[in-house]
Structure 1
Amino acid sequence: MADTALTAPPRSPLAQAAGRLAAATRTSGGAVRLAELPFLAQLNVRLDAKGTAAEAVGLALDLQLPLQPNTVVRAGELTVLWLGPDEWLLVGPPGSEGELESRIRTAAGDEHVSVTDVSAQRTTLLVAGPRAHDLLAHGCALDLHPRSFGSGRCAQTTLGRTQVIVVARADSRAGFWVLVRSSFAGYLTDWLLDAATEYV
């Protein structure tokens, strides 16, 4: 029997909000820039930070896993976020999750490691522009000024009462990534657009 199932191309959680995000960016005169970065590969990695697997995985990814709380390590298109003493989030280009998981598992060998593809769990919002700090400050208790939360920093926190991971980009002018669960992405986008009205 022929397979009659139709497969639709993937649709990002914020596909319908793309126009509103672009409009807010235009009308703010560059004060804020809002956009979705859909489909980034995201792998949750758990392993013993002091074991041999940590070093082997780092070599396989051509970077060192961050060991300091709330820090970020970048190498090429890969970004690794420290989430806990034995937990990291590896973020890579769209579609790379399978290859990255294979590299991690091969490098770890017989060492205990947990690798979970969580790419579909979250989407990523880019919040940039000269007023990005001010915009996020409307709903985030963290001090996101570059003096306190500059390049190489990340944090699990709440923004507009939504659990997120905030990542300071490599250059303060590049703004922030805000990783949010897909089911809350629409709500958080509405909140950001509302909070951005004073800059529009």
Structure 2
Amino acid sequence: MAETTPAATTALPRSPLSHAADRLAAATRASRGAIRLAELPFLTQLTVRLDAKGAAAEAVGLSLDLQLPLQPNTVVRSGELTVLWLGPDEWLLVGRPGCEQELEGRVRQAAGEEPVSVVDVSAQRTTLLVSGPRAHDLLAHGCSLDLHPRAFGPGRCAQTTLGRTQVVLVARDEPRAGFWVLVRSTFAGYLADWLLDAATEYV
């Protein structure tokens, strides 16, 4: 008689900051609207490298329904897709969870025979949302950038450090939308602790 074994169960993925969700929510409530802290887990993140002056750049932009940003440290958004300038020939595509293969296929198909590199780095980083009227002040505790809206307003991004941690900082497309802080998963817990500690001033 053949032996049967129960079908293997697939564990649900855990975000790098799932253990900190309650503390982030508690700090948000305690601040009475001054700040909001939350993780945006599992966002699709693809690094794309190609010649910004080549035919592929325009074709890829058309396939994504936007123009790849060419000005340093700027952001372009179309629908659920956000594209960050990271270098003269490098961009980070950030989209809704689960669309990695779709986005990669669109980029590669649009590029055709032109040289292009597309790397799925979704598991490399997680994203923290920092918003609210005191978001600038909170981040300024550990970031050397001038975060005033005149200097780092909507549509800007930068590779910088926050609390001695390397991050990609994004000013969202509306002043009240706050910031995305993209941080490597291995440093996410440390950065969340740093933010919670810095936020005690506002709770």
Give TM class, smaller chain.
over 0.9
Match of 1:186 in 2: 189
Do structure 1's residue 126 and structure 2's residue 129 form an aligned pair? yes
Once the two structures are superposed, residues 48-93 of structure 1 have per-residue CA deviations (whole angstroms, 9 ceiling, x without a partner) of 0000000000000000000000000000000000000000000000
Cα deviation, residue 7, structure 1? 2.0
Which whole-Å CA distance do the structure 2 matches of 1:164 and 1:66 have between them? Answer: 20
Q: Paired residue for 1:113, among 106, 111, 116?
A: 116
* Alpha-carbon distance between aligned partners in 2 of 1:3 and 1:162, rounded to the nearest angstrom: 44
Give how far 1:22 is off.
0.3
Any gaps of 5 or more consecutive residues in structure 2? none
Counterpart in the other structure of 1:195: 198
Alignment of 1:14-163 (within 5 A): 14-163=17-166
Query: Counterparts of 2:85 and 2:5 in 1: how far apart (Å)?
Result: 47
Question: What is the CA RMSD across the aligned residues, in angstroms?
Answer: 1.1
CA drift at 1:4: 5.9
TM-score normalised according to structure 2 size:
0.96
Give me the TM-score of the superposition, normalised by structure 1: 0.98
How far apart, in 1, do the equivalents of 2:148 and 2:6 lie?
Answer: 55
Task: Please report how far the alpha carbon of residue 3 of structure 1 lies from its aligned counterpart in structure 2 after TM superposition.
Answer: 8.7
- Give the AA of the match of 1:125: L
Taking the aligned partners of 1:128 and 1:115, their CA distance within structure 2 comes to 31
TM-fit CA distance, 1:2: 6.6
Change (3 A) 1:111 1:192: same
Gaps of 5+ in 1: none
Instruction: Tell me how far apart the structure 2 counterparts of residues 102 and 150 of structure 1 sit (CA, whole Å).
Output: 32
> In the alignment, which residue of structure 1 is the partner of 2:178?
175
- Structure 1 runs of 4+ aligned residues shifted over 3 Å read 1-6
Q: Which residue type is aligned with residue 80 of structure 2? A: E
Q: Report the identity percentage.
A: 81
Quote how far apart the aligned CAs of 1:9 are.
1.0
**AA aligned opposite 2:185:** S
Which structure is larger by alpha-carbon Rg, 1 or 2?
2
**Equivalent AA in structure 1 for residue 96 of structure 2:** P
